[in-house]
Amino acid sequence: MNQYVTGSAIRALREARGLTQAELAGQLFVSDKAVSKWENGKGYPDISLLEPLAQALSVSIAELLSGRAVLNANVSANMLRSVFYVCPVCGNALHSMGEAVVHCHGVQLLPAQAEETDEQHMVFIEGVEDEYFVRVAHEMTKKHYISFIAALSQDRIQLVRLYPEGNAEARVKMAGVRRILFYCNRDGLFGVTVHPAIDGRPSAYDDSEQRRALENAAKLMLR
């Protein structure tokens, strides 16, 4: 049987609600032994009970399936809050504007956390007319490659899917772009803040001491 909801999730949510097994069972019209079996991993609630179980525990079905609170307050179409999920089985890249419970190939995916770029994942951003030309200094073999480049602004996301043996580069419209993200299939998600005064020039700065100094200067000017 597919483990669509875990016993530990039911127990944690029940205890957070302050319910005993018997009280929860009474609300669902099942025996307390049934609830005990669910929580001990010896059985699962019938799928028809998911909605009433979620209601009894005062959570959404998504929260029940994940065993934790899913908070989506104040995201209101701000694409800078974008969250990416990448399947380790097929490489499928999924996007959400807030927290979500995402599964692919039977695996619950965790949101990718963007790290700062490093010497093995240098990004070059160059202004070309009304576009940014983004290039990642990275190999593109079948086993080690950049799978996508994304440009985030307040109201939109521009995502370019990349493939092994291709080029780790993309062109995106400049308008409003605040963040550039890219995903390495081995090392995960990386990101850099876009500074128009630096990145809008017709020459690229890599993630070196020179770029860091320019970014710090830009921050001081904005204070």
- pLDDT of res. 215: 54
Tokens of 15: 């205890």
- pLDDT of res. 2: 43
Tokens of 45: 């609630």
Which structural domain range is residue 147 located in?
115-222
- Looking at the structure, tell me whether residues 97 and 146 fall in a common domain: no
**CATH code for the domain in which residue 40 is found:** 1.10.260.40
- pLDDT of res. 98: 72
**CATH code for the domain in which residue 200 is found:** 2.60.40.730
Q: How many whole angstroms separate alpha carbon 15 and alpha carbon 101?
A: 21
- pLDDT of res. 80: 83
State how many domains the chain has: 3
The tens digit of pLDDT for each residue in 85-141 reads: 999 888 899 988 877 778 888 788 888 999 998 888 999 998 888 999 999 999 999
- Looking at the structure, tell me whether residues 83 and 32 fall in a common domain: no
Half-sphere exposure for 183 (CA within 13 Å, toward CB): 25
